[in-house]
Chain A
Amino acid sequence: MANDREVLREIWDGKLPICFQLAQEEIMEIQQPDPFYVMVPRLSYFPLVTDKMKRHFLRFISQENADNEMWLDYNGQPLKWHYPIGFLYDLYCGIDPQLPWTLTVHFTKFPEDVLLHCPNKDVVEAHYMSTVKEADVLKHRGQVMSTMQKKDHNQLWLGLQNDKFDQFWAINRRLMESHGDNEGFKHIPIRIYSDDGSCFQRLVSPKNVDGSRKVLQQMIAELYPDKINIKLRTHGITLPLDTPLQWLSEHMSYPDNFLHLCVC
């Protein structure tokens, strides 16, 4: 069970300073818009935190584009809104931290082939809930999510959306419990990303064949038998290789219940 509150709280409080700049081609006014500075929770998603920024830039763009879907890029790389912000930062800037993280805001030329559309926050919620469900299927054969009530799901989402740690963890702790007599999850919901953004997902058990706790190093050896010296990064830190996977999953998963690890 995830009860190392100190670690959970530290992860929850992780924030990134971001500097949004409107793409030059969007600017229709003579006056240059000021960049928009904001502290963003690492665990959140861009569509949840960009309302104000969008309003800030709207008056500088052509009115015919005002209803277009906004999207962001970092160094020309479109940012996928359905990944947590902190993960995106680790992916693109993890090796070479650059703060504030300067992102460019676009209202035109939506990269249809790279990004999913996100017309409103309900879509984010739907995507988020489906990811939590997927994680629960891996952990408990989906038994926890299916026994939860609609309002529990709601509380989980609202907790994340409104940055309420206690509200979120009141529900999420149930997802992080081991069930029945099994100590540990059935499988660890884990996604590992290469620096090019490609994702890699396998069934990973929290235990070794002999029943002992599997640590990160052992998983790496299984997944990358030919590579050595692989380091994994998440939440802005490099993970010690002797961390048990079960603990890692309970404490260092993103709110969508997945461990998003970047290879570096």
Chain B
Amino acid sequence: MSSSSSLLFSINNEGKVYALSTSGSCWREFMYLGLEFKTLSAVPHYLWAVGGDRQIYLHVHGLEIPIRVKEESYENERWLPLEGFSGRLLPTDRYHFSSQDGTKDRSIDRIRLPSMAWQWEGDWQLELTLDGQPLDHDGWSYAVDFPAHFSPVKQWKSCVRRRKWIRYRKFSAMNSWCAIAPLHKDPTQEPFIDVSIGGNEIPYASPGTLSVWAITAHGRVMYRAGVSTVSPEGLKWINVSIPPNCDIKQISVGPTGLVWALLWTGRAIVRKGVTKDCPNGDGWLEVKSPSETKLSVISVGYNAVWAVGSDTRVWFRKGIDGNLAGSSEAAAMGNGWLEITGHMIHISVGKNDQVFAIGDTDKCIYWRSGITQSELTGKRWRMVQANMQLSRTSSSASVVSSASNAKHHSLTTLSETTPELKSNIHLHNSWEESHSAPIEHTLPVKPKDRRPKGNTNVENIDLTGKSYETTLKNPRAWSPVRSVGSVVGMEAQPDSDSSVFDVDSGMYFDEEVSQTAWGTCDTTWAFVEAGACSMDTVQVPHWFTDNQNAHNSDLNTKWRVQILENLKTRNQIQDIDLTNYGIAIEEKGWTRSCEARLVCANNTFEDSILSLYWHALENIGTLSVFQPDGTIKFILNLGEVTSVFTSSEPGCPRITMLVPRQLRDGIKVQFISEMEQEEWFSVLVDITSQINGLSGKPSPNSIWAITNLGDIINWDPMAAQLNTEYNGSYKKEFQVFGKDIMSGFSTNLNNNFLPGSTLKITGSLSDDIKRFHINLQGPEIKKQRHKIELEVTDIPLHFNVRFDESIVVCNSKSFGNWGVEERHPLPLAQGQEFSVTIVSESKGFKIVVNDKSYCFFEHRLNPENITSISVQGPLKLYTMDYCTTSVIIDPEEMIWRVMGGYLRRIESCQNGIIWGISHDHRAWVYTGGWGGGILKAIGSNEGINPMTDTQTYCVYENQRWNPLSGYTSTGLPTDRYMWSDITGRHKRTREHTKLLGRHWHWISEWMIDYNTPGGVDNDGWQYATDFPAPYHGKKIFTDCVRRRRWYRKAQIVTEGPWLRAGSTALLDISLWNNGEDVTVWAITLGGEAIYRTGVTANTPAGVHWEHVNSPQSFIAISTCNYMIWAVGRKGELYYRDGSSKENISGSSWKLIETPKCNTPFNPKSSVGVKCVSLTKYSAWVLLSNGLISVRTDITQEHHDGKHWKYLTDSEMTFKDVSSIEHEVWAVCTDGTLYRRLGVTAENPTGSVWQRVHSGPTVHVTARGSLLE
């Protein structure tokens, strides 16, 4: 189920909370816990509410991975004579335990859990790496003095040392109501009447910021300090003063942090000055109400404020601008009320300013349709008509049945949700910790409802029932009075669980039971909250019965079934023989032509006319390119095109076709319009796929790659494999007839010449032939000697026929030196036809001439290294047949098919499960379809889903200081562009940044980035002494230059055979399967390692993420054979110790020795790792300098392997590598795709790179490959 769905919340007239998912069509009730709710306010995943007891509750839900916070403390020591290092520091020194900069006391015994909603995850641990370098097991790093640069090595001058303690705490009150502490000891003294959450899109604020406001019964306005996505309950209430004579009854916070409040008198006041630095604003402004109207409900959106009056009229406030509301009073207040038709009693504005309201007469929920950025008032009200899940909490049986679901635990089992079973003593402990939470007026609480250790499940159910009973009798037992963040009621499922909010698994109920309890019953609604609900106005949810979506429910109606049945039977004509009936419309060839431009290598253009001819029955297609005057330039057989992909640039719609047999770099065509380009693209992909018999889902063993424009291309080896296999051996005939041999003919074998391989050459010798030779040779290897590069080719077999000397010489050549000649008598005569067969045997080459065994040449060099054959001399070749034991893959015959969709990364495994990650870090899983987006006409619509992706464009504004005018945008003549990219070498301006195509659109304005790495000041500037230098956020007096980053977000809307999988943002993912058994590991955006459960061929998206504790944050991961390797943020490598089939998650992360890369080309010593691809016996590791090294001798005993090996045959640098078993593919820095040949168990680094696709590609996965 799509976890990208969001929820609309509502409260019925009985005070019960319901949720309606945008991907569902049924209201689901939140478990009733004996507590009614008055009001709700939501942003995605976070819900704040005022309960019937007038206290405030928090509900965190739908997060796939737990909220974890890392507490850090640095232990500092100083070296003293006599004592050595000790915790006794100088009075001027920092605290013994401090924060990183030493300014704060961080004694680890005083770091407590903020509230009972949190739990510690393990104990304090030492961090044992520093910038990717391992530290000794005490974790100390040394420096001359505080503050200074710390290094792992102790020196004579090291006077201080420190080590870092870390401990994680976890928010454990997920999916349950969690009470927030009252303001006073006696909660009835100042209860709450309203609460509102928003601020999730405050302009420029760091991600995760939230703001919560509340109103007490005394009319005080409270702002909750410290609320964010990682601190859902915040720290404390802060009183915000209000103007005199203002008695506030309702408050609403918009996504931009803008606050409007309503007075009992029906007037509205607005909080001004709400910005990222001042989230609670700096003053109130009064807004005039619509004449003769008392407002009763108000709701703030991004660029809109909606209100309803006590007379049920609906009002829209014009002129609100969420981006400027913090700085401009006019933008915060708007400039006038506009009456909207309809009579409503309640209103709520959600994401994208979509509006929901409750009707006055029918108490039904309505959605305002037609709201867009340009038309914020929308068009009309549409009734939300979703089925209702009947309330069953009145029946005790259902409570038991729900409790019997293993997913549900009562509060009392809360502490058992951690892996180790904890006794109630622990519960007591955790309470003790929460007691000291930094919140005022917290009352101590007695741990309630203690259970003896080791309760069985049955008792558990019983107890749950009892505690539920207790709830009814004595609500105070559950009231929030006792503690901050105490957990009320039941958890749906421990920790993270997205399935709770899935559409078809009952929200808190058994599937079975909930089925029967569905029904349509009229509910009268009292309250609706849309803050978490994101409506897709293009594809509205199935909530409306009055619209075109209704046809979905038509699918099973009687009339539709009847029509379809009749249609199917009408053509069944029994008594006529239809064989002699011709087809009325014959398939014909068709042509299509257009004017276009050929883009040449040096970026010049040639105007031309393209003409495409296609005959489906004959399966023939040609592309003719004409000059504008009609003379022909060239004609291309579309059967020779191996890849078609888009290569557009802004304003230049382009397609590239690769024709490796004709041209090295392919043909690039620029079209007049995007529409034309898309049509041609679709047609070309369709035709080339038809010619090569490709359609639908590719085989599981395909290679997948991604081009630099996000096109997903696929090569399916099945076709090639089937075509050439014959009795277990693979044969290839080279086209040699008529080739010029005089100057030498050489061809790549695309394989090697292991024992069992044969090569047969036939031809005729010319009459005056003096000499000819046949070489079986290795790849060209560049060697550097005395700074002079040489190209050296090893020749394991040189077969030289010399008619002038009447002998045959066999020899070999290695490192540029010929070996010892072996001479044989001449078997051939000038002017005759001949055949030569070379058979590779285990000891040497058997050479057969004219079908008679001729000689034997012992192997001097490994025949594995033979990659090509070369023939030279005055002769004619007739045939050349090559036969070997493994598949011969000729890149000229590799047909790459565009699959549809838009992704950044892709990962496969051998049973056909494919996952992708888009630029916005969302995960997608392949549905088995083909097409979508601009490939519209291709394939069927099966498995094709809408896709979006977001990319951020950045430009840098650079300024230089001069003594007269301060910082200005006049630089020195030698300076970088004043508007540039990050390097400063390329000019980039906001105005000239263009989108790539019509499927892209801007979703923001240009904004200053206040989160630029390195820190920024209040205007977003960061300073440095000069360009380029390290930038810092605080201006110091030596700074002469400054820069700031502007960003703007763009979104692509397309389609593809992909479906969202989970809602967690991912950086990297790795798949591996052992038969049916699939392991999926991933790295979240926050750098945490997670693995997916329930992934099978039938449910490729799996069920949910399991989180694995990690002290480090990671950037890449790879798994194979139940082993896991991960790359840390600093480029260090880890493996997961103790992982096995039985215990997938393993026990701990251990460091792997970093590769020391000392190749002749790059004499840098130690470099970080960028990504890793793990196989059963080796790991291919891409280093940050673009080189590749291989870890060998990996076994089940040594997950970390034993030796590093380096590729020495070329100095190419790469940006991606993917390997499985003996198949290794990599993307070169220039975007060319390579495959490694000759990788075997004995030679794990392989022998040579084979160029397979000239790209530009950015990413490849070979993890599904099964070629060996």
Contact = CB atoms under 8 A, between A and B. Distances in A.
Contacts of A49: 584-585
B546 A211 contact: yes
A48 B585 CA distance: 8
Contact of A181 (B380, B564, B580): B380
A166 to B, nearest CB: 5
B551 A247 contact: yes
Contact of A14 (B547, B555, B571): B571
Interface stretch (A39-47, A62-70, A134-142): A39-47
A161 B588 CA distance: 12
B581 A14 contact: no
A170 B560 contact: no
Contacts of A7: 560, 563-564, 567
A4 B941 CA distance: 11
Interface centre among B370, B554, B941 (most CB of A within 10 A): B554
Nearest to A149: B675
Nearest to A3: B551
A4 B560 contact: yes
A181 B369 contact: yes
A252 B546 CA distance: 21
B570 A235 contact: yes
A162 B615 CA distance: 13
Contacts of A125: none
A226 interface: no
B278 interface: no
B973 interface: no
Nearest to A1: B548
B562 A240 contact: yes
B583 interface: yes
Contacts, number: 103
A157 to B, nearest CB: 13
A99 B576 CA distance: 8
Interface in B359-395: 369-370, 379-380
A49 B586 CA distance: 9
Given A1-B548, A14-B571, A17-B576, A39 B562 contact: no
Contact of A37 (B564, B571, B582, B585): B582
Contact of A15 (B370, B557, B567, B571): B571
A6 B564 contact: yes
A44 B936 contact: no
Contacts of A236: 566-567, 570
Given A37-B580, A48-B585, A237 B566 contact: yes
A163 B585 contact: yes
B558 interface: yes
A39 B582 contact: yes
A39 B581 contact: yes
A184 B546 CA distance: 10
Interface in B572-607: 573, 576, 578, 580-586, 588, 590
Contacts of B585: 41, 44, 48-49, 161-163
A40 B584 contact: yes
Contacts of A211: 546
A183 B546 contact: yes
B377 to A, nearest CB: 13
A52 interface: yes
Nearest to A170: B937
B583 A238 contact: no
A17 B941 CA distance: 31
A124 to B, nearest CB: 14
Interface in A1-44: 1, 3-7, 10-11, 13-15, 17, 36-41, 44
A238 B936 CA distance: 34
Contacts of B581: 17, 37-39, 100
Contact of B578 (A17, A213, A242): A17
B548 A38 contact: no
B563 A239 contact: yes
Nearest to B573: A99
Contact of A10 (B379, B568, B941): B568
A11 B567 contact: yes
A41 B584 contact: yes
Interface string B1035-1050: 0000000000000000
Interface string A198-217: 00000000000001010000
Contacts of B560: 4, 7, 243, 247
B634 interface: no
Interface string B250-268: 0000000000000000000
Given A4-B551, A17-B573, A44-B585, A10 B567 contact: yes
B563 A240 contact: yes
A38 B576 contact: no
A131 interface: no
B559 interface: yes
From B546, B566, B571, B588, residue with most partner A Cβ within 10 Å: B571
A29 B52 CA distance: 99
A178 interface: yes
A107 to B, nearest CB: 20
Top 4 A-B residue pairs of the complex, sorted by shortest distance between their CB atoms: A237-B566, A240-B559, A49-B584, A236-B570
Interface of A: 1, 3-7, 10-11, 13-15, 17, 36-41, 44, 48-49, 52, 99-100, 161-163, 166-167, 170, 178, 181, 183-184, 211, 213, 235-240, 242-244, 247, 252
Given A1-B548, A41-B584, 6 more contacts: A1-B551, A14-B571, A99-B573, A178-B548, A181-B370, A242-B559
